[in-house]
Amino acid sequence: MQDLLSLTFAGEKPVISQGRNQHLSWLWRDEGIIELTPLHPSTNMALVVSCGIHGNETAPIEMVNQIASELIAGDLPLAMRLLIIIGNPAAMRENKRYLQADVNRMFGGRWQQFPDSAEARRALCLEQAIETFYLSGSHEELRWHLDLHTAIRGSWHTRFGVLPQRDKPWPQAFLRWLSAAGLEALVFHRAPGGTYTHFSHHCFQANSCTLELGKALAFGHNDLSQFSDADAALRALICGQEVGADASIPRRYRVLQQITRLSAQFRLHMSKDTLNFTVFPQGTLLAEDGETRYYVQQAREYVLFPNPDVACGLRAGLMLVEDNAHNQALQLESVDERQQAAS
């Protein structure tokens, strides 16, 4: 079969839409969506790997496409059921984040609140793809969803993960894998949202994370060596191998407040080159929208995803605070390691 990316770019259904090799069988489910089933599974997991939910975030698409090609060619074994998704093919072809509206604000049925468009219909298609995939397995399966992105802006933490709202601690095995994937920070949501990972976690209890793996660049301009940790960790997971235990533990942050654009009067008081995780002191005016003002409430808050150009009613930024207990423990461990090395 021609590779997933080429077919999705062409907007064509493959002449051969299913097949098998010595490791697995595969099925073209829909545009940019392939399901792979191991002939001899070694782990009871159902894994969804999505990318291209924003069409201009190309490096994860290239990385996932290479893995998919190796799986279908029989060059890579498969340990669990796997669903691979390129999320927004129409925007990808135009090298745009989206065409009419941000698909990653539409999940959990929120697509019904948007004007009818190909992207709203695509959000429904992606919901149905995950539902069909997870519900076709057994109730005992461990469900994971890794949604791979790159960020519009640069960041003080080059690679980080954003986890959806959850009322109990995340499994340590999941957090260890995120560490092995090279994430330098983890951000924990405290409220529901319209993201693909919130949908898969809330509706299907998947261990879900949005992975921000670098800066968004056009096809042909990515240095995939910068994604080597994530690529190696993903390949190990797919093949049923243990990931390395020597990865650095990410710093942790939690969302304290959301900055929402309410009207055309919205003004974000940050420069266009403000990096993700830039810190602001208490009392700083962050944004204003008519009579509404957003200020830094705690002694130190960190901005994530600042974007004044979103549509009215959508998130224009998140403000974070550190998980002090966790991060202080990391600092103590780092001091201990340096002292042991010095002695």
Tell me the DSSP string of 172-229. HHHHHHHHHTT-SEEEE--S--SSHHHHHHHHH--EEEEEEEEE---TT---GGGGHH
DSSP 8-state code for residue 250: P
Burial class (CB in 10 A: 0-12, 13-18, 19+), 343: exposed
Return the active site residues. 212
Cα-trace Rg, the chain: 20
Contact in structure between 269 and 252 (CB atoms under 8 Å):
no
Contact in structure between 76 and 70 (CB atoms under 8 Å):
yes
Which helix (H) or strand (E) segment is 69 a member of? helix 58-73
Contact in structure between 68 and 21 (CB atoms under 8 Å):
no
Does 269 belong to an annotated binding site? no
Does 57 belong to an annotated binding site? yes
Tokens of 6: 């080429």
In the annotated binding site for Zn(2+), the residues are 54, 57, 149
In the annotated binding site, the residues are 54, 57, 149
